[in-house]
Amino acid sequence: MANESVHERLNREYSAGFITDIESETLPPGLNEDVVKFISAKKGEPDWLTRWRLEAFEHWQKMPKPDWAHVDFEPVDFQAISYYSAPKSQADGPQSLDEVDPELLRTYEKLGIPLHEQEMLAGVVRGNVAVDAVFDSVSIATTFKEKLHEAGVVFCPISEAVHSHPELVQKYLGSVVPQRDNFYAALNSAVFSDGSFVYIPEGVRCPMELSTYFRINAQNTGQFERTLIVADKGSYVSYLEGCTAPMRDENQLHAAVVELVALDDAEIKYSTVQNWYPGDAEGRGGIYNFVTKRGLCRDRAKISWTQVETGSAITWKYPSVVLRGDDSIGEFYSVALTNNRQQADTGTKMIHMGKRSKSTIVSKGISAGGSQNSYRGLVRVTPTASGARNYTQCDSLLIGDACGAHTFPYIENRNPGATVEHEATTSKVSDDQLFLCAQRGIDAEKAVSMIVNGFCKEVFRELPMEFAVEAGKLLEVSLEGAVG
Amino acid sequence: MSVLEISNLCAEVDGKAILKGLDLTIEAGEIHAIMGPNGSGKSTLANVLSGKPGYEVTGGSVLFDGQDLLAMEAEERAHAGLFQAFQYPVEIPGVSNMEFLKTALESAAKAHGEEPLSTAAFMKMLRSAAAELDLATDFLKRGVNEGFSGGEKKRNEILQMKLLAPKLALLDETDSGLDIDALAVVGNGVTAFHKEDPTRSVLMITHYQRLLNHIVPDIVHVLADGRIVESGDKSLALALEEKGYAWLNKA
């Protein structure tokens, strides 16, 4: 296979790239104190939250933009972005699915998101999954509310939780990712528009998978959702997040914050399938995905991040776990695929503070086309974390020879009784492998998909069953045309 | 009908002519061997037939089972019943042998408009084929050729051949890097493959006469400078072994 033909065929179709024609209420571009106050007022927020946002905004103005990631892009003009966009028909807030703009429901249908409870109950689409959908800046509908209510689980837009469960929100918001944590987290704290809130009461096993779908639709808008999940003592929840955006020539900013709190003996499993628009083959357009995700584990708690990242022009994302409790467990399983001109700098941070805390990192990076894919991971063991253990495995797979794979592991061990292991490999899908497959009757697309799926097996195993199938298909679609 | 009919085949690699008007006909059920010095074009012939990229056919024609072989993609040639056992089989880490073979058989079934085998039927067939080649069950779960010894890799090629059941098997220096025991296993595997269905044909490419002790050819050809310069029965191989290729030039 000549390299020529690899390049020629590097053009993929982005199947979620439609634009929904609905009336939106959108703030003019620009960011100042008034915009922050406007967003807060729009949501009828209490004073403490308005002040909290303003504090974050003040810090943000003084903070330097991070420039250490292995990504290269034109600086973002934060004054050219609109910080609030809501479908107009939402102004009064729909009380049930029947009141949701049918055009919007069709959008979700196109995305294959099962908003209709009857379909879901019948298991037609995905089985037992409750969905919260965030469209541009506001949350559209949360299904299955009743069933969750019976179990005592709270699953609602965070804008609603501010009013319905103010004590929980005030206690935990910013407790894992403080306002001034980093540049994008500070920006998010100032202007976050909506997101999901989850509370699982003590000892409760959440009766179904919880799921949020994010979609950026409006032009020149940023999306700044904020998700807060609190698992009380001995509880369990599995949460899935999916994302798409329409094809547009301009870059769009997505700066989300996700905070997880796992109290003693609780377990949170957080899975992401990220398929934001990656830009076209020449690198025009696409989402800038600058996300801060972090979880806090108390004693014997467990947080597991699983991510399948195939979209976005630029991904800057490090789902992390602070292992504060003794015997706590942090896991990070990641597949990051880049094609064409995509750039990803992603990995995790495992901060060991508790005794015998354990972490596992399995990262699979796949680079195709002219893309750049970096793993960046930090394992920090503090002096208090006696008997801590970390195992890191970091594998890169290259398809074609115009792409790059990079690994930046940082290990800071301040406890001589801790064990930290790191393994890394780099391999390439070779022409000889593809020819062996062809000679056995397997065409190139199928062969690449088989090889890539084999490479990602350890991570896919961690995804909830129905999403593992979806993730496999997504990789196949994302790699279409990656071989000639 | 001939399974393979090569007429005046010319091919280049990187602009350099390697095959220079090669003629060869193999009838259904025949076993042929091609021998020849290094650089005579033996591996080029195998790769041109299987459709490996990087080889340019500049003249001649090849009919496979009556079809124009050169007009077909590599995977179509495989579906039509052409199999190449490689000299240096590559590794595909992470993809198990089992999965690989299942995908290959499913692709063939799809191409022929047939229903693929059930997983149970597939596993039964795979296990019995592996046992015949002295391959342990855990071998099937390992990545394709991943960490295999030279002998295991070659036996794996024969396993794939057994399952895909081609009309014509091209063995490209399958004997290289094999010890005597492994050579016997591979030789017996190929002989059994041929016996199972006597209409199947085999084209062996080899440097050495020793493979022909295990797989007895009907016809032996000598390839030199891109052409078949001599053909004969098994005794030709013995004469070559004794006198070397230089003898042919003088003849």
Reported as a single tens digit per residue, the pLDDT across A154-186 is 988 888 899 999 999 999 999 999 998 999 999
Tell me phi and psi for residue A96, to 5 degrees.
Answer: -150, 175
**In angstroms, rounded to a whole number, what is the distance separating the alpha carbons of residues A360 and A377?**
12
Mean pLDDT of chain A: 80
Query: What is the per-residue pLDDT for B107?
Result: 94
Query: What is the per-residue pLDDT for A123?
Result: 27
Give me the residues paired with residue A391 across strands.
A360, A421
Picking from A255-269, A364-378, B236-250, which range would have the lowest pLDDT averaged per residue? Answer: B236-250
Q: Chain A residues with CB-CB distance to B under 8 A?
A: 1-2, 427, 430-433, 435-443, 446, 450-451, 454-455, 457
Query: What is the per-residue pLDDT for A134?
Result: 57
For residue B247, the distance in angstroms to the closest alpha carbon of chain A comes to 37
Residue range A376-412, pLDDT digits in tens: 999 999 999 999 999 999 999 998 888 888 889 999 9
Yes or no, beta carbons of B84 and A443 under 8 Å apart? no
Which chain A residues touch B91 with a CB distance below 8 Å? 433
Strand order in the sheet with B56-64: B16-27, B2-13, B56-64, B67-68
Query: What is the per-residue pLDDT for A3?
Result: 39
Which chain A residues touch B95 with a CB distance below 8 Å? 450-451, 454
Query: A162 near A46, Cβ under 8 Å?
Result: yes
Query: A396 near A425, Cβ under 8 Å?
Result: yes
Domain count, chain B: 1
Query: What is the per-residue pLDDT for A473?
Result: 73
**In angstroms, rounded to a whole number, what is the distance separating the alpha carbons of residues B151 and B208?**
17
Per-residue pLDDT band at B124 (split at 50, 70, 90): very high
Which residue from A minimizes the CA distance to B166? Answer: A440
Which residue from B minimizes the CA distance to A451? Answer: B95
Residue of A364, A426, A440 for testing the chain B interface, max B β-carbons within 10 Å? A440
Instruction: Read off the pLDDT of each residue in A226-231 and give the average, rounded to a whole number.
Output: 95
Of B86, B94, B104, the CB nearest to A441: B104
Yes or no, beta carbons of B95 and A436 under 8 Å apart? no
The CATH number that applies at residue B233 is 3.40.50.300
Query: What is the per-residue pLDDT for A187?
Result: 93
Instruction: Give me the amino acid identity at A412.
Output: E
Per-residue pLDDT band at A89 (split at 50, 70, 90): very low
Yes or no, beta carbons of A440 and B90 under 8 Å apart? no
Q: Looking at per-residue confidence, does A142 or A459 come out higher?
A: A459
Query: A307 near A334, Cβ under 8 Å?
Result: yes
Q: Looking at per-residue confidence, does A49 or B174 come out higher?
A: A49
Yes or no, beta carbons of A454 and B92 under 8 Å apart? yes
Residue of A437, A445, A460 for testing the chain B interface, max B β-carbons within 10 Å? A437
* Residue B109 DSSP label: H
Of A441, A443, A451, the CB nearest to B92: A451
Q: Looking at per-residue confidence, does A296 or A90 come out higher?
A: A296
Instruction: Read off the pLDDT of each residue in B72-99 and give the average, rounded to a whole number.
Output: 93
Residue B165: give the domain boundaries. Answer: 2-250
Does residue A147 surpass a pLDDT of 70? Answer: yes
Per-residue pLDDT band at A121 (split at 50, 70, 90): very low
Which residue from A minimizes the CA distance to B55? Answer: A1
Per-residue pLDDT band at A77 (split at 50, 70, 90): confident
Residue range A184-198, pLDDT digits in tens: 999 999 999 878 899
**In angstroms, rounded to a whole number, what is the distance separating the alpha carbons of residues A374 and A405?**
6
> Which is nearest to B222 in space by CA: B85, B45, B17?
B45
Which chain B residues touch A366 with a CB distance below 8 Å? none
Yes or no, beta carbons of B104 and A451 under 8 Å apart? no
Query: What is the per-residue pLDDT for A195?
Result: 83
The residue behind tokens 């399995």 is A362
Which chain A residues touch B156 with a CB distance below 8 Å? none
For residue A270, the distance in angstroms to the closest alpha carbon of chain B comes to 25
Does residue B165 surpass a pLDDT of 90? Answer: yes
Q: Looking at per-residue confidence, does B49 or B175 come out higher?
A: B49
Of A1, A2, A432, the CB nearest to B90: A432
Query: A293 near A182, Cβ under 8 Å?
Result: no
